[in-house]
Structure 1
Amino acid sequence: MHAVPRRHPARFIPALVGAAGLLTACGGGATSSKADQPAAKVTVTPAAGNKSAKLGSAISVRADGGKLTSVEVKDDKGGKVTGRLAGDGTSWTSDGKVGPGTTYTVRTKAKSTQGKESSGTSVFTTEQADKVNKLTNTPGGGQTVGTGMPISILFDHPIAKDRRAEIEKALKVTTQPKVTGAWGWVKDYSGKDRIDWRPKDYWPTGTKVSVNGALSGIDSGAEGGWFARDYNFGFSIGADHKAVIDVPSHTLTMYENGKNVGTITGSAGSPQDPTRGGVHTVRSKNAAETMDSATIGHGSEWMLDSKWVTHLTASGTFLHSAPWNKSIGVVNNSHGCFGMTTSDAKKAYDFLTIGSTVEVKNTSNPNKTDVGNGLEVWQESWPQWQQRSALHR
Structure 2
Amino acid sequence: MSALTGSLVLTACAGGSGSEADRPEAKVTVSPAGGGAAKLGSPITVKAEGGRLTGVEAKDDKGNKVEGRLAGDGSSWTSDGKVGPQTTYTVRSTAKGGKDGKGKESSSTATFTTEKAEKVNKLTNTPGNGQTVGTGMPVSILFDHPVDEGKRAEIEKSLKVTTQPKVEGAWGWVKDWSGQDRIDWRPKDYWPSGTKVSVNGSLAGIDSGEGGWFARNYVFAFTIGADRKAVIDVPSHTLTMYEDGKAVGDIKGSAGSPDDPTRGGVHTVRSKNPAETMDSATIGHGNEWMLHSKWVTHLTASGTFLHSAPWNEWIGVKNNSHGCFGMTTADAKTVYDFLSIGSTVEVKNTASTKQTDVGNGLEVWQENWQQWQKRSALK
CA-CA distance at 1:87 after TM superposition: 2.0
- C-alpha distance in 2 between matches for 1:238 and 1:115: 58
- C-alpha distance in 2 between matches for 1:165 and 1:266: 45
SS of 2:209 mapped into structure 1? coil
Give the equivalent residue in structure 2 for 1:216. Answer: 204
Give the equivalent residue in structure 1 for 2:347. Answer: 360
Give the equivalent residue in structure 2 for 1:187. Answer: 175
Q: Which of 45, 65, 69 in structure 1 is aligned with 2:31?
A: 45
Give the equivalent residue in structure 1 for 2:254. Answer: 267
- C-alpha distance in 1 between matches for 2:318 and 2:293: 19
Q: Which structure has more helix as a fraction of its residues?
A: 1
Give the equivalent residue in structure 1 for 2:123. Answer: 135
Give the equivalent residue in structure 2 for 1:91. Answer: 76
Give the equivalent residue in structure 2 for 1:35. Answer: 21
Paired AA for residue 179 in structure 1? V
Give the equivalent residue in structure 1 for 2:137. Answer: 149
CA-CA distance at 1:79 after TM superposition: 1.0
SS of 1:220 mapped into structure 2? strand
Confirm or deny: 8 A CA contact 1:46 1:124 kept in the other structure.
yes
SS of 2:156 mapped into structure 1? helix
CA-CA distance at 1:51 after TM superposition: 3.2
1:334 aligns with 2:321: yes
Paired AA for residue 121 in structure 2? N
Confirm or deny: 8 A CA contact 2:124 2:143 kept in the other structure.
yes
- Structure 2 unaligned regions, length at least 5: 1-16
CA-CA distance at 1:81 after TM superposition: 0.8
Matches within 5 A, 1:216-255: 216-222=204-210, 225-255=212-242
Cα RMSD for the two superposed structures:
1.1
Give the equivalent residue in structure 1 for 2:363. Answer: 376
TM-score w.r.t. the length of structure 2 is: 0.93
Confirm or deny: 8 A CA contact 2:24 2:103 kept in the other structure.
no
Task: List structure 1 segments (4+ residues) > 4 angstroms apart after TM superposition.
Answer: none
- Structure 1 unaligned regions, length at least 5: 1-30
Paired AA for residue 362 in structure 2? L
- C-alpha distance in 1 between matches for 2:92 and 2:330: 64
Give the equivalent residue in structure 1 for 2:166. Answer: 178
Give the equivalent residue in structure 1 for 2:114. Answer: 126
SS of 1:294 mapped into structure 2? helix
Q: Which of 299, 304, 307 in structure 2 is aligned with 1:312?
A: 299
Question: Deviations along 1:136-155, whole A, 9 cap, x unmatched?
Answer: 11111111110100000111
CA-CA distance at 1:90 after TM superposition: 1.1
Paired AA for residue 269 in structure 1? G
Q: Which of 97, 103, 120 in structure 1 is aligned with 2:88?
A: 103
- C-alpha distance in 2 between matches for 1:220 and 1:188: 17
- C-alpha distance in 2 between matches for 1:363 and 1:250: 11
- C-alpha distance in 1 between matches for 2:144 and 2:26: 46
SS of 1:329 mapped into structure 2? coil
Give the equivalent residue in structure 2 for 1:278. Answer: 265
Give the equivalent residue in structure 2 for 1:293. Answer: 280
Confirm or deny: 8 A CA contact 1:50 1:126 kept in the other structure.
no
Question: Deviations along 1:183-211, whole A, 9 cap, x unmatched?
Answer: 00000000010000000001111111111
Paired AA for residue 336 in structure 2? Y
- C-alpha distance in 1 between matches for 2:271 and 2:209: 31
CA-CA distance at 1:32 after TM superposition: 4.2
- C-alpha distance in 2 between matches for 1:297 and 1:187: 21
CA-CA distance at 1:301 after TM superposition: 0.4
Confirm or deny: 8 A CA contact 2:86 2:116 kept in the other structure.
yes
Q: Which of 337, 340, 344 in structure 1 is aligned with 2:331?
A: 344
Paired AA for residue 32 in structure 2? P
CA-CA distance at 1:34 after TM superposition: 1.9
- C-alpha distance in 2 between matches for 1:201 and 1:66: 53
